Amino acid sequence: MQRWSRRKTHFPVLALFFSVFIVASILYNERNIRKIHDRKEEQQVPIRDSTLLTSVPSKVSSKHKPIVAAASLDRFTKCDSTRKFHGRRTETVYQKLDSSQRREKQHRCDLFSGKWVFDNTSYPLYDESRCPYMSDQLACHKHGRTDLGYQNWRWQPHDCNLKRWNATEMWEKLRGKRLMFVGDSLNRGQWISMVCLLQSVIPVDKRSMSPNAPLTIFRAEEYNATVEFYWAPLLVESNSDDPVNHRLNDRIMRPDSVFKHASEWEKADILIFNTYLWWRQGPIKLLWSDEESGICEELDGVGAMELAMEAWADWVASKVNPLKKKVFFVTMSPTHLWSREWAPGTEGNCYQENNPIDMEGYWGSGSDLPTMRMVDKVVDRLRSKVSVLNITQLSEYRKDGHPSIYRKFWESLSPQQLSNPASYADCIHWCLPGVPDVWNELLFNSL
Ligand SMILES: *[C@@H]1O[C@H](CO)[C@@H](O)[C@H](O)[C@H]1NC(C)=O
Ligand SMILES: *[C@@H]1O[C@H](CO)[C@@H](O)[C@H](O)[C@H]1NC(C)=O
Ligand SMILES: *[C@@H]1O[C@H](CO)[C@@H](O)[C@H](O)[C@H]1NC(C)=O
Ligand SMILES: *[C@@H]1O[C@H](CO)[C@@H](O)[C@H](O)[C@H]1NC(C)=O
| Whole-number Å distance between alpha carbons of 165 and 437 | 10
Q: What are phi and psi of 394, to 5 degrees?
A: -65, -30
Residue nearest to atom 3 of ligand 3 (CA): 176
Output the ligand 4 site: residues, CB below 6 A. Answer: 331, 372, 375-376, 379, 388, 390, 392-393
Best substitution site from 171, 174, 224 to test ligand 3's pocket, by max atoms within 8 Å of Cβ?
A: 224
How many other CB atoms are there within 10 angstroms of residue 357's CB atom?
Answer: 18
Residue ID of nearest Cα to ligand 2 atom 5:
169
pLDDT tens figures, 205-215: 999 999 867 89
What three-state secondary structure class fits 68? coil
- For 1-22, write each residue's pLDDT tens digit: 444 444 443 333 333 333 322 3
Say whether 365 is catalytic: no
pLDDT confidence of 377, banded at 50, 70, 90? Answer: very high
Per domain, the residue ranges of the chain are 81-409+427-446
The pLDDT score that the predictor gives to residue 50 is 27
Q: In the structure, what pLDDT confidence band is assigned to residue 142 with cuts at 50, 70 and 90?
A: very high
Q: Distance between CA atoms of 138 and 132, rounded to whole angstroms?
A: 13
Given this structure, which CATH class describes domain 81-409+427-446?
A: alpha beta
How close are the terminal C-alpha atoms of the chain, in Å? 30
CA neighbor of 410 nearest in space, from 135, 146, 196, 49: 135
Per-residue pLDDT at 102 = 53
Atom of ligand 4 nearest to the CA of 113: 5
Is 143 labeled as catalytic in the residue annotation? no
Residue 55 confidence (pLDDT): 26
Secondary structure class of 220 (helix, strand, coil): strand
Which residue has the CA at smallest separation from atom 5 of ligand 4? 393
Question: Rounded CA gap, 60 and 75, in Å?
Answer: 19
Q: Residue 80 pLDDT > 70, yes or no?
A: yes
Query: Cα separation of 62 and 399, whole Å?
Result: 48
**Whole-number pLDDT of residue 34:** 29
Write down the catalytic residue from 185, 240, 257, 395.
185
At CB < 8 A and 24+ separation, what contacts does 315-324 make? 315/258, 315/262, 315/265, 316/94, 316/382, 316/385, 316/386, 317/92, 317/93, 317/94, 317/97, 317/381, 317/382, 317/385, 318/92, 318/93, 318/94, 319/262, 319/266, 320/385, 322/384, 322/385, 324/269
What is the model's pLDDT at position 32?
30
SS3 category, 271: strand
Alpha helices, DSSP H, located in 65-184:
93-96, 167-174
- Interval between CA 110 and ligand 4 midpoint (Å): 11
Looking at beta carbons, which pairs linking 320-324 to residues 24 or more positions away fall under 8 Å? 320/385, 322/384, 322/385, 324/269
Cα 330 from chain centre: 9
Q: Report the nearest-CA residue for atom 11 of ligand 4.
A: 376
Q: Which residues line ligand 3 (CB under 6 A)?
A: 176-178, 224
Query: Cα(167) to centroid of ligand 2, in Å?
Result: 8
- Any catalytic annotation for residue 113? no
CB contact at 8 A, 447 and 389: no
H/E stretch holding 43: helix 39-44
- Per-residue pLDDT tens over the stretch 378-414: 999 998 899 999 999 999 999 999 999 999 998 889 9
Residue 166 Cβ contacting ligand 2 at under 6 Å: yes
| Max Cα–Cα distance, the chain, nearest Å | 66
Full-model pTM:
0.84
Q: Kindly tell me if the per-residue pLDDT of 91 is higher than 80.
A: no
Ligand 2 in contact with 172 (CB < 6 A)? yes
Buried b / exposed e over 320-333, threshold 16 CB at 10 Å, is beeeebbbbbbbbb
CA of 24 to the centre of ligand 4 (A): 23
